[in-house]
Amino acid sequence: MNPSPHSRPLRIGTRKSPMALAQTERVRELLRKLEPDLGTDVVPIETEADQWQGDLSKLGGKGLFVKAIDLRLQSGDIDLAVHCLKDVPGDGPLPEGLVFAAMLPRDDARDVLVVPEDSGVRTLAELPAGAHVGSSSVRRRAQLGRARPDLRIVRVRGTVGTRLGKLDGTKAMAPALDALVVAASGLERLELGQRARQVFTVDEILPAVGAGVLVLECRRADGDLLALLRQLGDARTLAEATAERAMLYGLRGHCNSPIAGYCDTEVDGRLSLRGMVFDEAGSTFVRAHIRGSADDPVDLGGRVSTELLRQGAAEIIAGTVH
């Protein structure tokens, strides 16, 4: 028997961006299949990061994409939060009383190159010298600088849709953007996957910790709901993301740190975790790649962070943040 955990509709809190709303619709669909009698209401919530017009890295990674939503979950205004794991700070425990109930099977974690619709450019290598590439993440800026030091990296803020609008609609402005780098999963969730010209391999641009993973968060005390949501969780994604976040924790990093981390599961079932830490220019970086048992992802993440710290990661991070 599947007891319906709530007699009233389940209130799902989410950011208001089109990507966030699309993610939430996916979760509602999964819940409808699992528990057809359970009604759901979507509660769009404005977060501090949505209002911030400046440089994202200056927000200091305080989790401002998720904080306002977590507060509403703690106060009981909503029952469930759908977050991009990438936006959830990794440098400490979750807010009091909240737990991750499930991580959905991971979407494409890679970054992609997008060019204006009428551009013939197919790859980063084909961009002309000095081309303007939009990106506001330190992680992407650093890795683009490493591959193509001649490029001008332009800070572009806003939702994926806003950024695409700037790419397609600013030709009258000088300088126009020649390309953008965004998350593959973000484009796909907006049904804009066909705009990706080049999908960067993880060796070309190592993804952010938790990239492409949607996480369902609820109150620990909401036992019936927790049991229901757990059924949506994917064990492989949980192991991979746990290794990545253990690495991030070891480095005391956050979503806008100059840190990249990506864990994959090899054919033999073992985890393969890569980590990188760079300065903003991408000229100085350290990296590590270690394999370990899927039974102990925390240990693997700890080993990769220890190795990065041994190579000087803390000094590189300190030099970048200010």
Residues binding ligand PBG (CB under 6 A): 65, 84, 86-87, 160, 182-183, 185-186, 211-212
60 — phi, psi (to 5°)? 70, 20
Choosing from 70, 79, 87, 108, which is the catalytic residue? Answer: 87
Shortest separation between residue 185's beta carbon and ligand PBG, angstroms = 4
Q: What is the CA radius of gyration of the chain?
A: 20
Nearer to ligand PBG, 87 or 240 (CB): 87
Residues 6+ apart with CB under 8 A from 13: 43, 45, 69, 72, 73, 77, 78, 80, 81, 82
* Cα–Cα distance, 231 to 49 (Å, whole number): 31
* Cα–Cα distance, 219 to 286 (Å, whole number): 38
Nearer to ligand PBG, 50 or 126 (CB): 50
Q: Give the 3-state secondary structure of 229-260.
A: HHCCCCHHHHHHHHHHHHHHHHHCCCCCCCEE
* Cα–Cα distance, 100 to 97 (Å, whole number): 11
Nearer to ligand PBG, 86 or 166 (CB): 86
Shortest separation between residue 6's beta carbon and ligand PBG, angstroms = 27
* Cα–Cα distance, 322 to 312 (Å, whole number): 17
In the residue annotation, 107 being an active-site residue is answered as: no
Nearer to ligand PBG, 35 or 57 (CB): 57
Shortest separation between residue 305's beta carbon and ligand PBG, angstroms = 21
Shortest separation between residue 194's beta carbon and ligand PBG, angstroms = 16
CA angle 291, 107, 232 (to 5 degrees): 95
Shortest separation between residue 161's beta carbon and ligand PBG, angstroms = 11
Contact, 85 vs 255, CB < 8 A? no
Nearer to ligand PBG, 255 or 308 (CB): 255
Catalytic residue numbers, as ranges = 87
